[in-house]
Amino acid sequence: MKKIILSSITLASLLVIGLTLSSNSSGPGGNRTGSPGSSGDCSGCHGGGSFGGTLKVGITEIGDTTFLSFYTPGKVYDLHVISGGTSTKKGFQATILTSSNTAAGAISAAPSGTGIDIAGGKSIWGHTSTSSSGVWKSIWTAPAPGTGTVTIYGAAVVSNANGANSNDQVVTANAMIGEMVSSNTKSLDATKLKVIENPTNTVVRLNGVAKNMIIWNNQGQVAASSKNTSELNVSQLPSGTYYLQTVSENNVRNTTAIVIK
Ligand code: HEC
């Protein structure tokens, strides 16, 4: 009886080991994008081969092919990861971060053969089955105004397709995308509403009534909003840096970074 129990435990652990190993061609998991704060890139396990591998990452307008150097806050773009090289089995991971290395905007689509994992609060988009084309596309929603320059980090394996992590080529790429700042907002600075309590932990107060007050978190989501008021209750919000967008009666818009304690 003891023997039977022992051997079924051995069998079970073999199965677990087998599953853990085979989960690699379906993506390494975690954050192997090579970005700041990641566990390095794919070269932690892969390498030693050369197959003319290349890698390009970037955003375009939806359905377009021209890579852009600037994003408009809140706008939706195609996110591309394109890997070249003579291999029938390619894989990748990619993420987009702000200059302070937090998630920038939202990666929201995971077409077949890919998936999105959250690791350390960041969206990691990667392969779940290998691809022979090495062409992957998702959707990215740009972050709130005031986020500034963001960086796309990508890492890919252009493999020898031997079903192991030996003699593969690792390629990495990154691309910086600047924030498009509206020149309109700048020239009308003099008329803008001002925040008179910043940082705060209870209410955000303005020096006048705003037609709209909208507070965005650094994931580009609306955290609080109000209409026709000079203050907005923020006591329910987790502490951190947010972006307050005000729209005045005469439709002048302004965005300020605010700190909630
Ligand atoms: C912790 C180790 C480890 C890391 C890190 C890792 N892999 Fe792997 N990978 C493996 C192992 C082991 C295999 C072979 C077993 C398998 O295919 O499941 C493998 C297989 C693959 C294969 C198929 C290779 C072939 O020759 O058939 C691809 C493609 C791949 N990984 C892509 C990636 C990419 C892309 C990354 C980085 C974003 C990455 N891997 C990071 C361990 C790793």
For residue 191, give both structure tokens.
């008329």
The residue out of 140, 163, 179 marking a domain boundary is 179
- CA 129, CA 140: separation in Å to the nearest integer? 21
Q: Separation of 27 CA from ligand 1 center, angstroms?
A: 7
Do 74 and 167 fall into the same domain?
yes
3-class DSSP assignment, residue 99: coil
Residue 4 lies in a domain: no
pLDDT of residue 182: 59
Token pair for 162: 């031997």
Residues 6+ positions from 39 with CB-CB distance below 8 Å: 30, 31, 32
| CATH number for the domain that contains residue 137 | 2.60.40.680
Q: 150 and 248 in one domain?
A: no
Domain encompassing residue 209:
183-260
6 inside domain: no
Q: Which is nearest to 248 in space by CA: 197, 188, 174?
A: 188
Per-residue model confidence (pLDDT) at position 192: 63
Q: CB atoms < 10 A from the CB of 43, how many? A: 17
Q: What is the pLDDT along the chain (261 residues), one digit of tens a residue?
A: 444 444 444 444 444 443 444 457 899 999 999 999 999 999 999 999 999 999 999 999 999 999 999 999 899 999 999 999 999 999 999 999 999 999 999 999 899 999 999 999 999 999 999 999 999 999 999 999 889 999 999 999 999 999 999 999 999 999 999 988 754 333 333 356 677 767 777 888 777 777 888 899 888 888 999 888 778 888 889 988 888 888 877 777 888 888 888
* Nearest-angstrom CA–CA distance, 155 and 92: 6
Residue 8 within any structural domain of the chain? no
- Are 209 and 104 contained in the same domain? no
- Judgement on whether residues 204 and 172 belong to the same structural domain of the protein: no
- Looking at residue 145, what is its pLDDT? 87
Distance CA 209, CA 27 (A): 51
38 CB near ligand 1 (under 6 Å):
no
CATH number for the domain that contains residue 244? 2.60.40
Residue nearest atom 41 of ligand 1, based on CA coordinates: 42
Indicate if 161 and 187 belong to the same structural domain: no
Give me the pLDDT at residue 87, please.
96
Q: Residue 89: CB within 6 Å of ligand 1?
A: yes
Both 113 and 165 in one domain: the answer is: yes
**In the listed set 179, 214, 232, which residue is the last one of a domain according to the structure?**
179
Task: Pick left, alpha or beta for residue 121 (phi over 0 → left; psi -120 to 50 → alpha; otherwise beta).
Answer: left
pLDDT for res 8: 45
103 and 173 belong to one structural domain: yes
Question: Which token pair is 115?
Answer: 């998936």
Q: How many domains does the chain have?
A: 2
- The structure tokens 């990748």 sit at 92
* pLDDT, position 236: 87
Closest protein CA for atom 15 of ligand 1: 164
pLDDT at site 5: 45
135 shares a domain with 209: no
Helix residue ranges per DSSP H, the chain = 2-22, 183-187
Q: Are 112 and 231 part of one and the same domain? A: no
Ligand 1 pocket member 159 (CB < 6 A): yes
